[in-house]
């Protein structure tokens, strides 16, 4: 735990001397009265002999200085003493429970470095460490980490009497949502309006922890009275004086479990007698990957494991209701964590709009409903149905579930998983067909956090229903008892209130994090990612079985036959008035027991100079229509018309490389189709250039996996009606999440805020070149901007459907072509 002052020589002890010494020193650590802190801790230094002088080492909530000498190939302990400097998270080293040492922010070879030293457990050797790894320090950058918990001063007790009151507590990690878009400020103002409208203010206690944004450094706790006072200048977090806040710690990292533990302890000590108690966690959410990104500490966030540890370490009693005003937290994996700490959970299966919940309504409905469950149901309906709160973006879902029913759901989920695993292992044809249909990105199970072929979560009940069988029916009934109320905005009509990790998600399959015992470094701490998504052994075996099934499919779909110049009416069961019935195109039959989707891709072809290969420029993708024959699909010929955007009245419209996302019928009976496109997007927000992250099918086209993702990439989503009129459009930011400093590229997670394209924005559409061999196989792909540079939008964009002119890199015109492409579970593709 902490550095040894000496070895114990008594070999007769039954407890190993190193363990005994650790126990003694842990006890001794609590006897130190830490001196009044003065100057901020300086970073560690390393001399020419590689000896380390560390002004600050964090150990079990205490700080020490330490000196370690390099005696090749080891670093040996020399001395340590209590530290008198003020903790600085990017400068202070940490020692883990296994004695491994992380040393940040020391200068080596002209660069700021982080080193990890592995403790040598050889009992006969001196206290020493060996080199494990080092990498460039990213402290202060958008893709670095805070490695250290730090030492947070205790909060002063409050004097508010809370017996007989309801408690509304909010843990608001501002991140970019506040730092760039001021959405935290907006929600606090909504909270004030709702509170001022209450006629029973004395019946509710409100406390908000907020911070983790550029304009909100550290963390503050504020009562409702303090929030009201803080709002006088229309800004929050800038009050001064000892009584401005219940607690104010500018060094706190809200994306670290130490800060959440501190807040939960404060609530238990000061608001534990309130009844009921409602805690809301506000910020970005990412399902089993966790919640809460601290903008001041490199978007450091809380994994589900850290959430569980924070609640456990705080000793807090169960909350009556825990809510996530965050994306994608309505999953079984999240419930598996929160069930230990709350009776009920309120969360969204899907991405949330940037504005999140309507806090004016949240506080009123919570305060005014005598029954907590009825209050939760009311909040769910208001979030989904309230069109006056921001814009009613597509994909709104929210549910409230009874965590006391979790074990019953898990029991039936295990039975369902065991049965499905057994049928897959037995190669049952009907099961394999149903499974691939459920996994299909276009027509499969309702899914969330989805873009292109990537899905983060599936709807658990809808997935089980598509698989079928008595186990599915029993699981569905258990889910119905578990979900007290669920609602959606009509775009997610099979949203039933609880989701689970997509069985073919690329983080699971492509990154191959499937080993129960594999340890990975997550958010700067040695953690097991398995712990964050593990629900039960039965479900885990199902994940692995589906992974193995996909990997065993080594052959792409095979074309059995095809008919050119086919008429749609001859193969499709359509009314004669349907335009597709008169259309001509290609009919093809594919064979592949793991076939998941068949698409028609429109574009143009050019030859490759000096090669027999051809390049196909992808313009758009739609779903091929299945015929009544198994494995047979019809693709209508392309007439060269596609979706375009007018961005400047003095310029020609630009075509948009859109891909089919999903289709649904709204509550008026109108059929709507959603397309998505990859774009570069820049917006000026309060004199800052706002760039957004990237997520989608083109991840592999950005080259070297060691290169970070560009930060100006986004996804455009456009919804059209049956007459190709635009009903809505939005651009959504995405976050790049890095597992550690060595993970330069990271993986991608959806953000909350969305934008309409408007005058003053800059945009560029991104497509792909597909390289075809002479045999017609896709042998490569590369990223392709459709214009030479960013387009400055000078008007409200106008979207339409029109004939387009396709040109290659040299400006030569290309004739319109179309390709039918079949894809299987292993992403094998046959054009």
Q: pLDDT tens digits, residue range 498-553?
A: 999 877 555 544 333 333 333 333 333 333 455 667 788 899 889 888 878 877 76
Handedness of CA 195, 200, 204, 205 (dihedral sign): positive
CA distances in angstroms from 663 to 199, 327, 394, listed in the order given: 45, 22, 12
Extract the residue ranges of the chain whose pLDDT is less than 70: 1-38, 59-61, 87-90, 96-98, 109-112, 133-151, 298, 387-394, 442-443, 450-454, 504-532, 553-557, 559-561, 563-582, 594, 608, 610, 684-711, 734-751, 809, 824-831
In a domain, 4, yes or no: no
Both structure tokens of 553: 């499919």
State pTM to two decimals. 0.73
> Which residues partner with 591 through β-bridges?
558
**Residue spans of alpha helices (H) in 197-280:** 224-230, 257-271
The answer to whether the bond into 276 is cis (omega within 30° of 0) is yes
Which of residues 552, 575, 597 is at a domain's end? Answer: 552
CATH number at residue 311: 3.40.50
Q: Could you give phi then psi for residue 106, rounded to 5 degrees? A: -110, 150
310 and 246 in one domain?
yes
In a domain, 438, yes or no: yes
In a domain, 673, yes or no: yes
In a domain, 8, yes or no: no
What number of CA atoms fall less than 13 Å from residue 349's CA on the CB side? Answer: 37
In a domain, 12, yes or no: no
Which of residues 552, 568, 585 is at a domain's end? Answer: 552
627 and 492 in one domain?
no
379 and 239 in one domain?
yes
- What is the pLDDT at residue 312? 93
358 and 244 in one domain?
yes
531 and 437 in one domain?
yes
What is the distance, to the nearest Å, from the Cα of residue 568 to the centroid of all Cα atoms in its chain?
Answer: 42
In a domain, 231, yes or no: yes
663 and 628 in one domain?
no
- What is the pLDDT at residue 519? 30
> Which residues partner with 321 through β-bridges?
278, 344
- What is the pLDDT at residue 279? 99
382 and 250 in one domain?
yes
Angle between helix 470-482 and helix 460-467 axes, rounded to 10 deg:
160
- What is the pLDDT at residue 803? 92
- What is the pLDDT at residue 576? 59
499 and 377 in one domain?
no
Task: Specify the number of domains making up the chain.
Answer: 5
CA torsion 181-323-351-758 (nearest 10°) is: -20
387 and 477 in one domain?
no
488 and 619 in one domain?
no
331 and 209 in one domain?
yes
Look up the domain containing 220 and give its range.
166-403
- What is the pLDDT at residue 331? 96
Alpha-carbon distance of 444 to 572, in angstroms, equals: 21
579 and 507 in one domain?
no
Torsion-angle region of 713 (φ positive above 0: left; ψ -120 to 50: alpha; else: beta): beta
In a domain, 143, yes or no: no
In a domain, 589, yes or no: yes
Listing DSSP states for 558-597 in one string gives EEEEEEEEEEHHHHS---TTSHHHH-EEEEEEEE-TTEEE
Q: 619 and 830 in contact (C-beta within 8 Å)?
A: no
Q: 25 and 86 in contact (C-beta within 8 Å)?
A: no
> Which residues partner with 277 through β-bridges?
167
- What residue has token string 């047979």? 632
- What residue has token string 């989701």? 499
Both structure tokens of 47: 């001399």
């Amino acid at each position: 735990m902490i550095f040894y002052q000496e070895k114990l020589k008594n070999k007769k002890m039954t407890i190993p001397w190193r363990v005994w010494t650790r126990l003694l020193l842990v006890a001794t650590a609590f006897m130190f009265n830490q001196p009044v802190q003065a100057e901020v801790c300086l970073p560690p230094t390393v001399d020419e002999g590689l000896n380390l002088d560390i002004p600050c080492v964090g150990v079990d909530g205490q700080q020490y200085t330490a000196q370690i000498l390099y005696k090749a190939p080891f670093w040996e302990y020399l001395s340590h003493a209590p530290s008198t400097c003020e903790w600085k998270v990017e400068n202070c080293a940490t020692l883990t429970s296994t004695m491994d040492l992380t040393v940040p922010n020391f200068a080596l070879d002209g660069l700021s470095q982080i080193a990890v030293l592995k403790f040598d457990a050889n009992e006969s050797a001196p206290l020493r460490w060996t080199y494990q790894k080092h990498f460039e320090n990213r402290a202060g950058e958008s893709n670095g980490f805070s490695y250290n918990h730090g030492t947070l001063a205790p909060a002063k007790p409050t004097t508010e009497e809370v017996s007989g009151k309801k408690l509304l507590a909010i843990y608001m990690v501002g991140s970019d949502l506040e730092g760039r878009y001021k959405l935290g400020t907006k929600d606090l103002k909504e909270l004030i309006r709702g509170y001022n409208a209450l006629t029973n203010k004395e019946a509710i206690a409100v406390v908000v922890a907020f911070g983790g944004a550029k304009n909100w450094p550290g963390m503050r706790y504020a009562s409702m009275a303090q929030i009201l006072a803080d709002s006088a200048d229309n800004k929050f977090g800038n009050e001064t004086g000892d009584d401005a806040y219940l607690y104010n710690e500018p060094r706190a990292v809200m994306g670290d479990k130490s800060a959440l533990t501190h807040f939960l302890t404060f609530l238990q000590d000061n608001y534990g007698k309130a009844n009921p108690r409602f805690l809301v966690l506000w910020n970005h959410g990412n399902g089993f990957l966790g919640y809460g990104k601290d903008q001041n500490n490199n978007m450091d966030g809380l994994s589900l494991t850290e959430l569980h540890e924070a609640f456990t370490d705080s000793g807090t009693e169960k909350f009556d209701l825990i809510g996530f005003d965050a994306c994608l937290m309505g999953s079984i994996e999240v419930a598996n964590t929160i069930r230990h700490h709350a009776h009920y959970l309120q969360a969204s299966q899907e991405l949330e709009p940037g504005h999140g919940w309507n806090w004016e309504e949240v506080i009123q409905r919570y305060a005014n409903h005598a029954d907590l469950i009825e209050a939760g149901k009311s909040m769910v309906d208001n979030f989904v149905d309230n069109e006056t709160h921001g814009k009613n973006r597509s994909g709104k879902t929210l549910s409230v579930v009874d965590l006391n029913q979790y074990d019953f759901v898990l029991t039936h989920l295990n039975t369902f998983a065991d049965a499905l695993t057994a049928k897959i292992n037995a190669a049952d044809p009907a099961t394999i067909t149903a499974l691939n249909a459920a996994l299909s990105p276009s027509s499969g199970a309702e899914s969330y956090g989805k873009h292109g072929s990537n899905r983060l979560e599936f709807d658990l009940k809808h997935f089980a229903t598509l698989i079928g069988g008595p186990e599915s029916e029993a699981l569905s009934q258990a889910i119905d008892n578990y979900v007290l109320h669920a609602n959606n905005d009509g775009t997610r009509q099979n949203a039933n209130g609880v989701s689970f990790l997509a069985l073919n998600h690329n983080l699971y399959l492509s990154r191959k994090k499937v080993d129960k015992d594999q340890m990975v470094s997550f958010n700067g701490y040695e953690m097991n990612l398995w712990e964050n998504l593990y629900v039960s052994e039965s479900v885990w075996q199902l994940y692995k079985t589906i992974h193995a099934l996909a990997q065993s499919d080594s052959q792409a779909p095979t074309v059995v036959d095809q008919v050119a110049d086919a008429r749609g009416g001859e193969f499709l069961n359509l009314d004669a008035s349907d335009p597709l019935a008169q259309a001509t195109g290609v009919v093809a039959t594919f064979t592949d027991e793991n076939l998941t989707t068949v698409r028609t891709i429109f574009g143009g072809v050019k030859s490759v100079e000096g090669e027999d290969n051809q390049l196909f420029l992808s313009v758009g993708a739609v779903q091929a229509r299945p015929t009544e024959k198994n494995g047979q699909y019809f693709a209508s010929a392309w007439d060269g018309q596609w979706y375009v955007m007018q961005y400047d009245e003095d310029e020609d419209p630009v075509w948009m490389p859109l891909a089919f996302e999903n289709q649904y019928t709204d509550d008026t009976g109108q059929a709507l189709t959603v397309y998505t496109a990859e774009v570069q997007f820049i917006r000026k927000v309060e004199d800052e250039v706002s760039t957004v992250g990237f997520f989608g099918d083109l991840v592999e086209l950005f080259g070297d996996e060691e290169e970070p993702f560009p930060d100006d990439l986004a996804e455009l989503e456009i919804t059209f009606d049956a007459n190709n009129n635009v009903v809505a459009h939005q651009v959504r930011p995405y976050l790049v999440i890095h597992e550690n400093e060595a993970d330069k590229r990271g993986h991608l997670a959806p953000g909350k805020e969305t934008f309409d394209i408007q005058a003053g924005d800059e945009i560029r559409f991104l497509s792909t070149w597909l390289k075809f061999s002479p045999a017609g196989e896709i042998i490569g792909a590369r990223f392709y901007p459709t214009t030479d540079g960013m387009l400055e939008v000078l008007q409200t964009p106008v979207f339409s459907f029109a004939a387009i002119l396709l040109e290659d890199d040299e400006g030569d015109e290309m004739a319109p072509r179309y390709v039918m492409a079949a894809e299987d579970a292993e992403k094998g593709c046959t054009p």
